[in-house]
A and B are shown apart, each in its own frame.
Chain A
């Protein structure tokens, strides 16, 4: 598994969940594998290096401004970082733009050849189990339909407190 620890460290900062909670989903390996499937290894190496160089606060947490400026706003790393966040929360791999893929993606998956249908699929759910483990469900105080049943009658209960932590503008 390519640089799994680095993947978890970066993911923890990007999702704002502790590494243990991410490991607890049981699907981190699948996400990391998916990432390696679509992003070139040297680009991933650069991404992890960039992340390791980010300024940190006294508590060891990455400074949010540095994260925004140097990683999320970066033309090369930003799309990867956003896709990592989306994987954890929504269990979906979102297709990268063709431009980005041609420059930083894995050719076998991402090079559109003229006259040949591109093998790049559209957005897809990473796996059955990943869908169930999406972090968006507990965050909403909900559950994936048809899986992780919360029990008879819960539909009449108020959502959990965690929903209050989302501030919609």
Chain B
């Protein structure tokens, strides 16, 4: 991670770029945590948990794209292809939330607690505690300040072709709009806050019913962001899993979910080693090589994403193909028990960026 500092007022364009780069890192750093749990689910089991976590992951990638588009629109360049871009887990999130650590865990009650912390609405924690929503609100404040101070210079010409278009996005809620001015920049950031915490304004009433219809239909990803009455925010989607029930019409934050039961069978999950490090496989060359292969493909993905956000948006298509390959090699790794492990744990990826030189097999031998 780049140097972490407490939230501070954004007064210059450099401050803004620094915070938007942090935002890109923040969004990305949630992905290994969510993906580890998602892929730990055995084939064909826990389908509701699978689709809920997957839907959140799709939208985290949407958030990353929105943050990157605002960064590009204000003349910055997102940086994704370096070892520093990826934290070593367990880790504090890059927005300096110090009250929990993101980890790499199989799907478990403990993992769901962590997911709730990541998506925690700002209104549910003391004012001094940073949440992702508060982090973005600070950026929004900075954007407004700089827009007033710099006027049209805040959004220089020539960035439109570098931004990511909506056509690359599917499988989640929200629309990717290109950022051209303050309004479109705020729209992009508001989408992140609304989807994650689901409480984007200060006049929030915990007893007020959610805008739900008869069914909660959390899988729907096709509604436009602010016209999607059936989609819950990430926090409440995860809360459904934790409580083992759906939210239905009339439910509020304080009532909790009172709808149909959601069954999660934690036995139908690969017992992954928590927070794995590459050193864990040093005595098992075959696992070491498989984890290495995962990291090679993961590194290639980061290179491609870096290009996609730095003037070659079409590379995103290639990157999506690499995401599918990554899923495949991760699942192959995760089905392997670690030999001689007393806890019966399974191998899991370590999510490391390798430089091109490190990507030759000889580097691990």
The A contact surface, by secondary structure, is loop
Asked if B335 and A24 sit within 8 Å, CB to CB, the answer is yes
Q: Which residues from chain A contact B286 at a C-beta distance below 8 Å?
A: 18-20
Q: How far is the CA of A85 from the CA of B324 in the complex (A)?
A: 27
**How far apart are B17's CB and chain A's nearest CB, in angstroms?**
31
Asked if B336 and A24 sit within 8 Å, CB to CB, the answer is yes
Q: Which residues from chain B contact A24 at a C-beta distance below 8 Å?
A: 290, 331-333, 335-336
Residue of A nearest to B322 (CB): A151
**How far apart are B259's CB and chain A's nearest CB, in angstroms?**
30
Task: Among B44, B317, B328, B335, point to the contact of A23 (Cβ < 8 A).
Answer: B335
Is B7 an interface residue when CB atoms closer than 8 A count as contact?
Answer: no
Residue of B nearest to A151 (CB): B321
Is B282 an interface residue when CB atoms closer than 8 A count as contact?
Answer: no
Q: Which residues from chain B contact A18 at a C-beta distance below 8 Å?
A: 286
The B contact surface, by secondary structure, is helix
Asked if B321 and A150 sit within 8 Å, CB to CB, the answer is yes
With A151-B317, A153-B321: A26-B44 Cβ-Cβ less than 8 Å: no
Q: Which residues from chain A contact B129 at a C-beta distance below 8 Å?
A: none
Asked if A151 and B324 sit within 8 Å, CB to CB, the answer is yes
Chain B 320-334 interface residues, beta-carbon cutoff 8 Å to A: 320-325, 328, 331-333
Task: Among B43, B322, B323, point to the contact of A129 (Cβ < 8 A).
Answer: B43
Bitwise, A11-44 to B at CB < 8 A (1) or not (0) is 0000000111101111000000000000000000
Is B38 an interface residue when CB atoms closer than 8 A count as contact?
Answer: no
Is B296 an interface residue when CB atoms closer than 8 A count as contact?
Answer: no
Asked if A149 and B287 sit within 8 Å, CB to CB, the answer is no
**How far apart are B89's CB and chain A's nearest CB, in angstroms?**
22
With A20-B286, A20-B287, A20-B290: A151-B335 Cβ-Cβ less than 8 Å: no
Is A154 an interface residue when CB atoms closer than 8 A count as contact?
Answer: yes
Q: Which residues from chain A contact B333 at a C-beta distance below 8 Å?
A: 24
Tally of contact residues, B, Cβ under 8 A: 21
Task: Among A25, A26, A148, point to the contact of B324 (Cβ < 8 A).
Answer: A148
Q: How far is the CA of A149 from the CA of B335 in the complex (A)?
A: 20
Is A152 an interface residue when CB atoms closer than 8 A count as contact?
Answer: yes
**How far apart are A24's CB and chain B's nearest CB, in angstroms?**
3
Residue of A nearest to B287 (CB): A20
Q: Which residues from chain B contact A19 at a C-beta distance below 8 Å?
A: 286
Q: Which residues from chain B contact A151 at a C-beta distance below 8 Å?
A: 317, 320-324
Asked if B335 and A26 sit within 8 Å, CB to CB, the answer is yes
Bitwise, B5-45 to A at CB < 8 A (1) or not (0) is 00000000000000000000000000000000000001110
Q: How far is the CA of A157 from the CA of B318 in the complex (A)?
A: 10
Q: How far is the CA of A79 from the CA of B31 in the complex (A)?
A: 47
Q: Which residues from chain A contact B290 at a C-beta distance below 8 Å?
A: 20-21, 24
Q: Which residues from chain A contact B42 at a C-beta distance below 8 Å?
A: 26
Asked if A152 and B320 sit within 8 Å, CB to CB, the answer is yes
**How far apart are A145's CB and chain B's nearest CB, in angstroms?**
15
**How far apart are B84's CB and chain A's nearest CB, in angstroms?**
28
Q: How far is the CA of A21 from the CA of B332 in the complex (A)?
A: 7
Bitwise, B286-326 to A at CB < 8 A (1) or not (0) is 11001000000000000000000000000001101111110
Asked if B43 and A152 sit within 8 Å, CB to CB, the answer is no
Q: How far is the CA of A94 from the CA of B9 in the complex (A)?
A: 70
Q: How far is the CA of A23 from the CA of B290 in the complex (A)?
A: 12
Interface, chain B (partner A; CB < 8 A): 42-44, 286-287, 290, 317-318, 320-325, 328, 331-333, 335-337
Known: A151-B317, A151-B322. 7 other contacts (CB 8 A): A20-B290, A20-B336, A21-B332, A25-B335, A26-B42, A129-B43, A152-B320
| Contacts A/B (CB < 8 Å), 9 sampled | A18-B286, A24-B331, A24-B332, A25-B335, A148-B328, A150-B321, A151-B320, A151-B324, A152-B317
The 7 closest A-B pairs by CB, nearest first: A24-B332, A151-B321, A20-B286, A26-B335, A151-B320, A24-B335, A151-B324
